[in-house]
Amino acid sequence: MSKNQVLFERAQRTIPGGVNSPVRAFRSVGGTPRFIERAEGAYFWDADGKRYIDYIGSWGPMILGHVHPEVLDAVQRVLANGFSFGAPTEAEIEIAEEICKLVPSIEQVRMVSSGTEATMSALRLARGFTNRSRIIKFEGCYHGHADSLLVKAGSGLLTFGNPTSAGVPADIAKHTTVLEYNNVEQLDEAFRAFGAEIASVIVEPVAGNMNLVRATPEFLNALRERCSEYGAVLIFDEVMCGFRVALGGAQEVYGIKPDLTCLGKVIGGGMPAAAFGGRRDIMAHLAPLGGVYQAGTLSGNPIAVAAGLKTLQLIQRRGFYDDLAKQTRKLVDGLTAAARDAKVPFSADSIGGMFGLYFMDAVPGSFAQIQQGDTKRFNAFFHAMLDAGVYFAPSAFEAGFVSSAHDDAVIDATIDAARGAFASLAA
C-alpha cells in the first residue's frame, strides 16, 4: 500500500472525509488523494516521493512558483519578530497602499484571512450601505461558503433561490436571486422585478470555479449600467482572477470599475490572506467608522502580509504578465493540438495565468454549457496525466494555473505527457 493510501485512511479517522476542503478528496475523479510533502518552482512531491508538475498552484496563489527565494526571504525576516500581534503594523499599511495603487477602483481596503471572509463581508457592507437585503449572484460562480452564497436558482427566474448545502436556512436563501452567467436578458428582467430591493450584484468577472469561463464585455457592461441605474453595489469577486489575469485584475482587462472588489490568493503569496475594498464612501460604513461590523483576529497577519507584499512587488517587473500569458497560451495550444491529433473532442482557453480544459468541441460561456462536457473522459485524462507526473485540478469544474516557474521545458513535458493521455482516450 502506498504512503498516500496509508495517510488517507489515517486522515479519515479524525478529519471528515480525510480532507480539510472537499475538492481535495478526489471524489469527482476517484482514486486516492496525493498528500504533498514539499514543493519548489513548478513542482511538488507527494508522500511517496513522486514529483508532479503542479497546475493548481495552491488554487492560484503561487504565481511565482513554489518557495520563491525572495518571498521566502521576506517571510523569514519577519518570523523572528513574532507570528501575530492582534495590533496594527506598518506592513499592513504598505500592502494596503500597494493594493490601492494597483487596483484603481479600490480607494480603501480591509484585510481579512480568507476569500470567504472577503465576499461575506463585502455583501454585508453592501447591504448596510444600501439598506436593502436582496443580492444577485450567477449560476456556477463560487464566492465562498457563506450561507447567502450557497444558493442555486429556483424553478423559475423570479422564484426564491434554493440552498445548495444542508444547514442553510431557506429564510436566508430567499434573499439571493441566482441568474445565468452571461445572460443580459435575465439580468434586465431581475432588475425590472426587484430593482428597488437589490443591495448588490456579485460576480466573478473571470469565473474559475465552474472551470474557466470568461464574462462577455456586454454582460459586464450591463451589470455596471444596471447597478448604477438602480443604486445597487457592484462587487467583483477577484479572489481568484485578481492579479492572475492582469496586474490590475479582470477589471483592468474589461475596463470596468466595480464599487467593491474582493481579493485573495495572490495577495497572500500562499499564506492565508484576502481583502475587500472599494469606494471610500462605501468603506466608511465599516466599523469602527460606521455601523457595519467586521473583525478578524488574524487579519493583516504579519507573516501573510510579508509574503503577499513581496509577491505583489515581484509581479510588477517588466514583461511579467506578457511572459505568463505566453506560457499559458503555449500550454493550452499544445494540449488542443494533442487532442486534435488523437481525435478527442476537446477545447481550451486561457487568460493571463489562468486556463480551462473542456472535453467538448467549443469553449463554454455558462454553467449550463460547462455541464455538457464529458466528465468521464476528463477523469480518465486526469488519471493518465497524474500517472505521468502532471497534476491538474481533480475536478472537471475547476480552472488551472500557470506560474512564472513554468518554463518551456515544463510546458513541453506536459504536452508530451498529454499526447499519450489523449491517445489512450481515443483507443
Residues labelled as active-site residues? 142, 237, 265
Q: What are phi and psi of 244, to 5 degrees?
A: -100, -40
Q: Which amino acid is at 87?
A: A
The bridge status of strand 274-278 relative to strand 260-263 is: antiparallel
Asked whether the beta carbons of 239 and 202 are under 8 A apart, the reply is: no
- Cβ burial, residue 55 (10 Å; 0-12/13-18/19+): buried
CA-based Rg of the chain, rounded to a whole angstrom?
A: 21
For residues 173 and 155, give the distance between their C-alpha atoms in angstroms, rounded to a whole number. 14
The bridge status of strand 108-112 relative to strand 274-278 is: antiparallel
Asked whether the beta carbons of 197 and 160 are under 8 A apart, the reply is: no
Strand, helix or coil for residue 348 = strand
Say how many C-beta atoms besides its own lie within 10 A of residue 87's C-beta: 6
> Which ranges of 250-374 would DSSP assign to H, the alpha helix?
250-254, 280-283, 302-314, 320-341, 367-370
Q: What are phi and psi of 66, to 5 degrees?
A: -80, 145
Asked whether the beta carbons of 43 and 54 are under 8 A apart, the reply is: yes
For residues 164 and 152, give the distance between their C-alpha atoms in angstroms, rounded to a whole number. 6
Say how many C-beta atoms besides its own lie within 10 A of residue 413's C-beta: 15
For residues 358 and 375, give the distance between their C-alpha atoms in angstroms, rounded to a whole number. 9
Distances (CA, A) of 181 to 205, 206, 339, 361, 368: 10, 11, 28, 20, 9
Alpha carbon 183 to its chain's center: 21
Strand, helix or coil for residue 43 = strand
Cis, peptide link before residue 302, omega less than 30° from 0: no
> Residues in the chain, how many?
427
